[in-house]
Amino acid sequence: MKNVSLSLYCFHQRDYLDDAPNSATFGAESIWESLTKVSENLPFQELETLKSQLISYQYDKDIDDYQYQPKREEGLKTEWLTQNGEPIKFTPILTESGFRLEGTLQPFCLHDTYCLDITVTPELKEIEIEQISVFKPQFLISKITANLGKVLTLYGESDEKGNSSLATAKWWVNQLCADTSLKPQFLSKIKLFNCPCFLFESEDVTIIIALAKPNQFDVKQADGNYSWLRELFWTQKKIAATYRESHESYQEARKIYGKLEATMDSFHDIVNKPFSRRLNSLEQLVQDIPQKLLYYNRFLRDLSAHQSTIKVNLDNFKTCLSHLREYQNNELEFWVDLSNKKYPQYLRQIETHIAYLKPSKDLLFSDLITTIRTTTEIEKAKSNQDVQDNLQALGVGLTLGGVAAGRSSLLTEPWSWKGETVELELPFPPFLVAIVLGLVFANLGYWGTRCLIKRKRSPTSKTRD
């Protein structure tokens, strides 16, 4: 294969909507940190010193190293992240196959996304299929962090009798994915800049095998449309990643939905519990349900945000695709089907998820919280009233008990009966009489008062003649 080149596009989220202005999300710099580690397998000097060439990093004398400073990206006039606004050219390195590798790195900031394009080419004009291993594709695929996804493209030219068939493309794909966990599946064949291309995909990695005959590939057209093709890849990966996130948000919302449904089912059982346990259970629900509903609302909000993100990126995807389709040398029906069928289906699915979850939030669960809070307030009022009734009955009981205990001494005083003086002799100390009488009258006073209060508060039916 002649004029071989291997390119990897990586897309990584720089910031999200809920991040503070002019700041980056946690882990945004991992795409650059991981790229420097690729130098362990592809020892390009420029990869080792990458941080010194990026606007996003600043040298710190205290630690003698470069620190990630996303605020330095404020006011970027272009999408380039290099200090000079140009690609980073690699110094050639010698491979174990005896020939040298060279290449370029292009780092960009595309709105809320970090993007890099690393291209590796051999100095030899022609290599065998087995020699593709010196490009270290497995490390490019696995080591670089890119949470939105990657696009790996392999370009090569065969002679006039060369075979640009699917079988040949699969051979190349198998070589590229050797020693990785990827199991690429064939998607479609397209024509890009007059070159037959075979699309494969595994997980979040798209692989494009471009097999051209000599002078078939329109280099001028490709160079002039580089940014359009790169943004087509970007929006495609953004849509796919966002849809995955929307599915996760929906699943998490469903879990909370199930827990709230179980709470509704248990509410009747709680109301029928004994008074002391009932109030504790209701107060626990008052604390627990709003927290669950808060997460539920957050996932519902995320679904709406994901829907908006897909809409915006679908419009951008169509714009890029429309521009590329202006050239007769391009046959991009597979991507056209994505824009007309698959991606609109994503939006409809998210709309269905929102339609399923939102009514429960607005009606069912909101009413549940209102009901529980109202019931809790009633139970608290009952509890307070019960305490007051107990205190009132206890006061009456203690008063009667005190009076009875105080008067108990009269039992031991001499008294007259039919003109004779009678003195009562008790077989036990008089103070025990005071205690017993005090307890008896205190209990009679307490329970009698409780019955009177209960009778007074109980509803009575009135009949009219």
Sign of CA dihedral 298, 299, 304, 308: positive
The DSSP result for 47-78, as a single string, is HHTGGGGBTTEEEETTTTEEEE-GGGGTT-SS
pLDDT in the model for residue 357: 85
pLDDT digits (tens, 9 = 90+) for 56-69: 999 999 888 999 99
Work out the pLDDT band at 141, boundaries 50, 70, 90: very high
Q: Name the least confident of 165-169, 178-182, 266-270.
A: 266-270
Q: How far is CA 152 from the centre of its chain?
A: 27
| Higher local confidence (pLDDT), 177 or 377 | 177
pLDDT in the model for residue 151: 98
Share of the chain above pLDDT 90, in %: 52
Which helix H or strand E contains 12, and what residues bound it?
A: strand 2-13
Spatial separation of the C-alpha atoms in residues 94 and 43, rounded to whole Å? 9
Residue 123 corresponds to which tokens in the numbers above?
């100095």
CB 283 within 8 A of CB 270: no
Spatial separation of the C-alpha atoms in residues 232 and 316, rounded to whole Å? 8
- Residue 129's region, left for phi above 0, alpha for psi from -120 to 50, else beta, is alpha
Task: Tell me if the pTM is above 0.75.
Answer: yes
Segment 92-102 mean pLDDT: 91
Spatial separation of the C-alpha atoms in residues 17 and 307, rounded to whole Å? 13
Where do the structural domains in the chain lie, given as residue ranges?
A: 2-224, 240-381, 383-457
Q: 3-state class of 430 per DSSP?
A: helix
Q: Where are the alpha helices (DSSP H) in 212-274?
A: 219-224, 226-271
Q: Report whether pLDDT(444) > 70.
A: no
Work out the pLDDT band at 429, boundaries 50, 70, 90: low
Q: Dihedrals φ, ψ of 81, to 5°? A: -105, 0
Residue 422 corresponds to which tokens in the numbers above?
């009678």
pLDDT in the model for residue 295: 83
**Nearest in space to 322 (alpha carbons), one of 239, 231, 205:** 231
| Higher local confidence (pLDDT), 103 or 286 | 103
List, in sequence order, every residue forming a beta bridge with 117; answer none if it has no partner. Answer: 9, 106
Work out the pLDDT band at 27, boundaries 50, 70, 90: very high
Q: 3-state class of 459 per DSSP?
A: coil
Spatial separation of the C-alpha atoms in residues 370 and 83, rounded to whole Å? 58
pLDDT digits (tens, 9 = 90+) for 251-293: 999 998 888 777 766 666 666 666 556 656 666 666 667 777 7
Q: Report whether pLDDT(345) > 50.
A: yes
pLDDT digits (tens, 9 = 90+) for 201-259: 999 999 999 999 888 999 999 999 999 999 999 999 999 999 999 999 999 999 988 88
| Higher local confidence (pLDDT), 335 or 18 | 335
pLDDT in the model for residue 263: 72
pLDDT in the model for residue 54: 96
Spatial separation of the C-alpha atoms in residues 265 and 260, rounded to whole Å? 9
Segment 321-347 mean pLDDT: 95
pLDDT in the model for residue 461: 43
Spatial separation of the C-alpha atoms in residues 208 and 197, rounded to whole Å? 6
Spatial separation of the C-alpha atoms in residues 116 and 106, rounded to whole Å? 6
CB 12 within 8 A of CB 147: yes
Instruction: Look over the chain and give the mean of its residue pLDDT values, rounded to a whole number.
Output: 82
